[in-house]
């Protein structure tokens, strides 16, 4: 029984969450950009992770999940979303982005997301400033270790 954390990230904060999860449940972690070398047969459990950008999960992760749905559907599947706001509900995000997975994901959870205007390209920093993103809601993944252990506790009995 081996677990994979398969994540997408633009500015690195989802990678940080993925690493904390992987470290805490002895899992492998793979960036979706490196997926070509991945052998899915090695894994019985997969934890997907993606940030949210203007309501959307990362395209390359969605594409992979769609392409591989037949290979993945007999595994234990889980998802974390790393994002700045608490709305919409995670079930609505799944329905809009990956409706095929609505009944396949056993555990879903939100992490708090992180903004770093120093890293962000101009377009993204303009979007954050103009789109109605409530920065006050962003908890910058404080207490990440505690949140990760809650998440792992939730999925432990679903292995
Ligand atoms: C241009 C832009 C759009 C975003 N849109 C959303 C959004 O629609 N909903 C949300 O909850 N968070 C949104 N965020 C916050 C990101 O999800 C958050 O910063 C996340 O930690 C980024 O992850 P990454 O560093 O792995 O790319 C947005 C951030 C940026 C820069």
The span from the CA of 18 to the CA of 5, in Å, is 6
**Residue entry with tokens 């959870």:** 109
Tell the residue nearest (CA) to atom 20 of ligand 1: 113
Our CA dihedral for 95, 96, 98, 100, rounded to 10 degrees, sits at: 50
Tokens 């303009």, located at residue:
126
pLDDT digit of tens for each residue in the chain (159 aa)? Answer: 799 999 999 999 999 999 999 999 999 999 999 999 899 999 999 999 999 999 999 999 999 999 999 999 999 999 999 998 878 999 999 999 999 999 999 999 999 888 788 889 999 988 887 776 666 666 677 788 999 998 998 887 765
Q: Which atom of ligand 1 is nearest to the CA of 111?
A: 21
Which pLDDT does position 121 carry in this prediction? 92
| Most distant CA atoms of the chain, gap in Å | 46
- Which ligand 1 atom sits nearest the alpha carbon of residue 86? 11
Ligand 1 — pocket residues by CB below 6 A? 9-14, 51-55, 82-85, 113-115, 120, 124, 127-128, 133
Question: How many whole angstroms separate alpha carbon 84 and alpha carbon 86?
Answer: 7
CA of 138 to the centre of ligand 1 (A): 10
CA distance 74 to 78: 12
CATH topology of domain 3-156: Rossmann fold (3.40.50)
- C-alpha 57 to ligand 1 mean position (Å): 10
pLDDT of residue 66: 98
| Atom number, ligand 1, closest to the C-alpha of residue 115 | 19
């Amino acid at each position: 029984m081996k677990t994979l954390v398969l994540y997408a990230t633009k500015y690195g904060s989802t990678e940080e969450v993925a690493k904390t999860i992987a470290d805490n449940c002895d899992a492998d972690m793979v960036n979706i950009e490196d997926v070509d070398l991945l052998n899915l047969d090695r894994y019985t459990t997969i934890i997907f992770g993606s940030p949210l950008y203007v309501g959307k999960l990362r395209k390359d992760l969605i594409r992979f999940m769609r392409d591989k749905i037949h290979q993945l559907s007999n595994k234990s599947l889980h998802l974390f979303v790393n994002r700045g706001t608490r709305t919409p509900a995670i079930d609505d995000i799944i329905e809009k982005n990956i409706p095929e997975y609505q009944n396949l994901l056993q555990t879903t959870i939100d992490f708090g997301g992180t903004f770093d205007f120093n890293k962000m390209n101009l377009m993204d920093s303009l979007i954050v400033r103009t789109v109605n993103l409530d920065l006050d809601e962003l908890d910058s993944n404080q207490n990440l270790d505690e949140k990760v252990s809650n998440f792992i506790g939730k999925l432990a009995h679903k292995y």
